[in-house]
Structure 1
Amino acid sequence: MPSPTPPSGSPRELTRLEAVVDRAAHRLLQGKPQHGPRAVLIECAVFLLKQAWACIFGALLLVAIVAARLWYPDDAPLARNDALTIAAILIQIGMLAFRLESGRELWVIILFHVTGTVMELFKTDVGSWSYGGDGLLRIGAVPLFSGFMYAAVGSYMVRVYRLHDLRFTRYPRVWMTTVVAALIYVNFFSHHYIWDLRWILLAAVALLWGRTMMFFRVWRATLRVPLLLVFAGVALFIWIAENIATWGGAWLYPNQEAGWELVSPQKLVAWFLLMIISVVMVTWVYPPTGPRDRDPARDPVPDRSPDAVRP
């Protein structure tokens, strides 16, 4: 469920379809209690619906991967990986055709696609993971649907930023976060040849974002949470999705080739660092801003921080 329509001039505009859903949701929720257990349940339900709406690209792609594992025939004339690539393309076309993504968000998603595909080409070449099956729609050993998995992460990041009207206090300067994100991306490649700097990079992330608070609107309530905790939660969510995808045979790690087993929890660190790259890319489209002036009728959590956001 999209968030309430922002004030005129806000860059976080709803798409046409989201505006329709937004108006219907407000008609449904109008007159609901603002306090008590029912109000809390409503806020929780709206939060979960917004998260589901933001995840729609990744969720549909994950459904396609699982469906291909369960029902795609081995003797089909079209290779399974090619079928997944076509499915991913159709999902992306649908996202645009049904106005589920805005044009400016599409550029970030394309950038996710490109950076992810480059990483896939390198990682498969050094044996970090592999893709099974044949197919024509591939670059080297990498089927083209793999780039859409990174695009799905990008789609979630830009959509959740807009749907929850994210705001921040004590956000680090964007040029500094961009430098750290670039170093993280380079380390995904360079650690195969020189020292792995992930722990130093984690310390840099903690230093930069350690004091940053994120404000997000549910429906009436605006809540705040430490941004590092959000990074960790999203990384956990992607790790769970990764386990489903590897079970579905989308790709395999070396320890899974003899039979599927749980992805190592150590991958949580990699996904956490990938979150940093994702967040920084999103800030290039939606520069971080501070909380709105408090509206007592809608925002029960005031901003008591004296620190201004420094984009």
Structure 2
Amino acid sequence: MTTETAYPASRLSSLDALLCDKQPWGELEGAKRFIVEFLYFGIKEARACMFAGLFFISIFLVPRVGLFGLPRYDVLLVIALAIQFFMIWSKLETLDEAKAILLFHIVGFALEVFKTSSSIQSWSYPDFAYTKVLGVPLFSGFMYAAVGSYIIQAWRLLDVRIKHHPSYWMATLIGLAIYLNFFTHHYIGDYRWYIAACAVGLYARATVIYRPYDRHRKMPLLLSFILIGFFVWLAENISTFFGIWKYPNQLGAWSVVHIGKWSSWSLLVIMTFTIVSHLKHIKSRISVPE
């Protein structure tokens, strides 16, 4: 299949074709190979973060008073939808991928409704919005969808394969336990570290194999969960600094989000990865042969 046939819609999708080309610059060795692979990896990561990046840039640019008479939260919802429609229109995202991202939106929004409820109040959205449902602005689900979008896009652009992927039923149980613990720890105790220990044991042998340029590289899958969780934690600090939402200890003055939230985000990444890997598994085998 030619590049023109596979990516007919836009220059951006043509960029995807170039990034996925296995040897656009021929054979490379030594320092030149390191530089090219490093640059390709960085560009592919940035491309995979397109939805998340554009959405979080809008957080910086939209003033707290909103735009054109619309409250800030409503403007952010319009921007998130516009980005989503653009990615589908430009073939940067397939309809199947968009459906998966919608699932992440629903899962995340349900968690937001619970966490901001009057009986829990883990955090709050202090500003007015027309598009608030049960006290939660609809744009909030896109913050979770952004994580799912990144994993889906990176999987394709980096030609990801998973070696020693655990049994899918066991991965599903861990994913469900992670999600349920976000709710139940308010009533029966926080078991995240027990669940995390089970996840470490389950994914201890799992390796993510990816292709920055023309050769496959590998790293422990658990390390990728931790790194992605760290960057989500950084994004959360930026968002709370700009007052998108606030934790109770940030109502008087902003402070760094507790480092313990890093573990929560890493667990959420595991749950998101589980959903994506199931969807990938349905279409094709993802395990690399021994």
Whether TM exceeds 0.5 here: the answer is: yes
SS in 2 for 1:86: helix
Q: 1:148 to 1:23 in 2, by over 3 A?
A: closer
Aligned to 1:9: none
Q: 1:38 to 1:168 in 2, by over 3 A?
A: same
Q: TM-score, normalised by structure 2?
A: 0.90
CA contact (8 A) 2:160 2:209 kept: yes
User: 5+ unaligned residues in a row in structure 2: which ranges?
Assistant: none
Query: Aligned ranges for residues 62-141 of structure 1 at < 5 Å?
Result: 62-68=56-62, 71=63, 73=65, 77-125=69-117, 126-141=120-135
* Aligned counterparts of 1:273 and 1:139: Cα–Cα separation in 2: 26
Aligned to 1:224: 218
Q: How many residues are treated as equivalent by the alignment?
A: 282
SS in 1 for 2:148: helix
Identity percentage of aligned residues = 36
* Aligned counterparts of 1:277 and 1:26: Cα–Cα separation in 2: 27
Q: TM-score, normalised by structure 1?
A: 0.84
Aligned to 2:156: 162
SS in 1 for 2:101: helix
Any idea what the Cα deviations from partners look like across 1:78-137, whole Å, max 9, x if unmatched? 111111111111111111111111121112101100000000000001111101211111
1:284 Cα shift?
A: 2.0
Q: 1:105 to 1:22 in 2, by over 3 A?
A: closer
CA contact (8 A) 2:37 2:212 kept: yes
CA contact (8 A) 1:170 1:212 kept: yes
1:74 Cα shift?
A: 6.3
CA contact (8 A) 2:7 2:91 kept: no
Aligned to 2:143: 149
What do you get for the CA RMSD once the two structures are aligned? 2.4
Greater helix content: 2
* Aligned counterparts of 1:84 and 1:22: Cα–Cα separation in 2: 27
Any idea what the Cα deviations from partners look like across 1:50-92, whole Å, max 9, x if unmatched? 0001000011110111112xx4546962111111111111111
* Aligned counterparts of 2:102 and 2:166: Cα–Cα separation in 1: 25
User: 5+ unaligned residues in a row in structure 1: which ranges?
Assistant: 7-12, 293-305, 307-311
* Aligned counterparts of 2:66 and 2:262: Cα–Cα separation in 1: 33
Q: 1:22 to 1:61 in 2, by over 3 A?
A: closer
